[in-house]
Copies of this chain bind each other. A is one copy, B any other.
Amino acid sequence: MAERITPRKENYSQWYVDIVIQAKLADYSPVKGCMVIRPRGYALWEKMQQTLDRMFKETGHQNAYFPLLIPESFIKREAEHIEGFSPELAIVTHAGGEKLEEPLVLRPTSETIIWSMYKKWIQSYRDLPLLINQWANVLRWEKRTRMFLRTTEFLWQEGHTAHSSEEEAREETLRMLEVYRDFAENYMAMPVLTGIKSESEKFAGAVNTYSLEAMMQDRKALQAGTSHFLGQNFAKAFDVTYQTAEGSIDHVWATSWGVSTRLIGALIMTHSDDKGLIIPPKLAPIEGVIIPIFKSSNKEEVLGYAREVLSAMKQEIRVEIDEDEQNSPGWKFSEWEMVGVPLRVEIGPRDMEARKVVLVRRDTGEKIPVAGEEVTRTAKALLDDIQQSLFERARKFREENYHRLDTYKDLRKLFESEGGFVEAHWCGDPDCEGKIKDDTKATIRVLLDRKPVDGAVCIACSKPASQVAVFSKAY
């Protein structure tokens, strides 16, 4: 058991892969760059989906489904869009035994196919806003892949909205960024930094891209979601106009925003330890597991009591019981720790006699003896506390590894040693951004929403600063 997961200090990348494989979240598939999401991984995705879907609906969005296949000519209509996506496209050339007249692209994202439909659906200001989301698979042919973090095919949601004014579209862009922040922090227990992307890092076809950046345990950044203000770029590419309330004709304003199964990778790397996966309770498919400890002589009594506890807890908690008789309790402890169940409920013969149980926290290992009739209430309070503690631990880690630097020497030194997030002043010149990337492998993760102090200078060139940027190496 103990050998199965490589410790983080020894090999962080291998630790990650070990957790994915051993906790049965996903597996390699026979298709290059594609993975299989196994039931334990998919159950986690379902919990994420349910929560996000509710949040999207509460903010007025409806789900729909658009075709996987996009005519190649559509992708080419928006100049920046095709430039960004063309190296990653997978193309269907033959179907039904014949060569296609026009090749079809497997969607890498759906702006083009969706805006070709919005042209049909939008005529007047009364058709706006149009607030649609899609849950779908997308394909991007990646050279270097890593399970959940970067795969050729992945699952995601993509929101695509149409508005009658720039102001409203900009509000929507920020509203969905905030929905994502709420989800990341309050469900995934993962603190995120939000801000705007620099020109070189923005979405191909966007006017502005906003991003959520989380810090992994190796101090690298992971982009956890993006929300784009698309201006009128796609409306112009697909000639989508509407009649305003005043009777004039104008192009429609747009946003798009998405998160993907990449969030599962982010969750793993934010919380897990050398024993395996740790899942924040709110997203845990199983919040607690009861492990009865018995011999053949007291089996019926212990199991009887454990099942009583199960049925009491079940009313309010997603709980299971592991009655398997082939594996020892110790083996089971390790196994359920590895798959990340937040709370273990140990019930042995002495617990049974005293009508007690022992609760064990996955995050700290702390053991809490509790009277049987108190178990549900205590377990609920502990789950809340685990949720909060995981967030606090991650927040503290990020703060410890967040540096405000003023000199290029310090910047280089940091990224040559342990790394982290670096807040620094930037002049706004892509050459300085490029130089930093070349020298340190760190990129601008986000630009913060505040102006540099008077007299501040760019960390790379010492010219007057126009932006406060956060730099980091990233996934």
A155: chain B residues at CB < 8 Å are 65
Whether B96 lies near A30 (C-beta < 8 A) is: no
Bound form: Cα–Cα A27–B121 in Å:
10
B-binding segment of A87-95, A291-299, A368-376, A392-400: A87-95
The reply on A62 being an interface residue by CB < 8 A is: yes
Q: Known interface pairs A117-B29, A137-B68. Does A93 touch B94 (Cβ–Cβ under 8 Å)?
A: yes
Which residue of B is nearest A285, CB measured? B62
A89: chain B residues at CB < 8 Å are 95-97
Whether A96 lies near B141 (C-beta < 8 A) is: yes
B-binding segment of A37-45, A273-281, A407-415: A37-45
Complex interface residues of chain A between 63 and 82 (CB less than 8 A to chain B): 63-71, 74
A90: chain B residues at CB < 8 Å are 69, 92, 94-96, 104
Q: Known interface pairs A68-B139, A96-B88. Does A104 touch B31 (Cβ–Cβ under 8 Å)?
A: yes
Which residue of B is nearest A35, CB measured? B67
A68: chain B residues at CB < 8 Å are 34, 68, 106, 137, 139, 153
Whether A37 lies near B65 (C-beta < 8 A) is: yes
Bound form: Cα–Cα A41–B29 in Å:
33
A113: chain B residues at CB < 8 Å are 29-31
The total of chain A residues at the interface (CB under 8 A) is 56
Complex interface residues of chain A between 130 and 158 (CB less than 8 A to chain B): 132, 136-137, 139, 141-143, 152-153, 155
Bound form: Cα–Cα A31–B66 in Å:
10
Q: Which of B36, B45, B116 contacts A117 (CB 8 A)?
A: B36
The reply on A120 being an interface residue by CB < 8 A is: yes
Whether B65 lies near A29 (C-beta < 8 A) is: no
The reply on A46 being an interface residue by CB < 8 A is: yes
Q: Known interface pairs A95-B89, A95-B90. Does A31 touch B62 (Cβ–Cβ under 8 Å)?
A: no
A142: chain B residues at CB < 8 Å are 96
A43: chain B residues at CB < 8 Å are 62-63
Q: Mark A427-457, 1 if CB is under 8 A from B, else 0.
A: 0000000000000000000000000000000
Bound form: Cα–Cα A132–B139 in Å:
24
Whether B94 lies near A87 (C-beta < 8 A) is: no
Whether A87 lies near B93 (C-beta < 8 A) is: no
CB distance from A341 to the nearest CB of B (A): 16
Bound form: Cα–Cα A68–B31 in Å:
10
Q: Could you show 28 A-B contacts with beta carbons less than 8 Å apart?
A: A27-B117, A27-B121, A29-B113, A29-B117, A30-B74, A31-B67, A31-B104, A31-B113, A37-B64, A37-B65, A39-B63, A42-B64, A43-B62, A68-B153, A69-B152, A86-B97, A89-B95, A89-B96, A90-B94, A91-B93, A92-B106, A93-B94, A94-B103, A95-B141, A96-B142, A96-B143, A106-B106, A137-B137
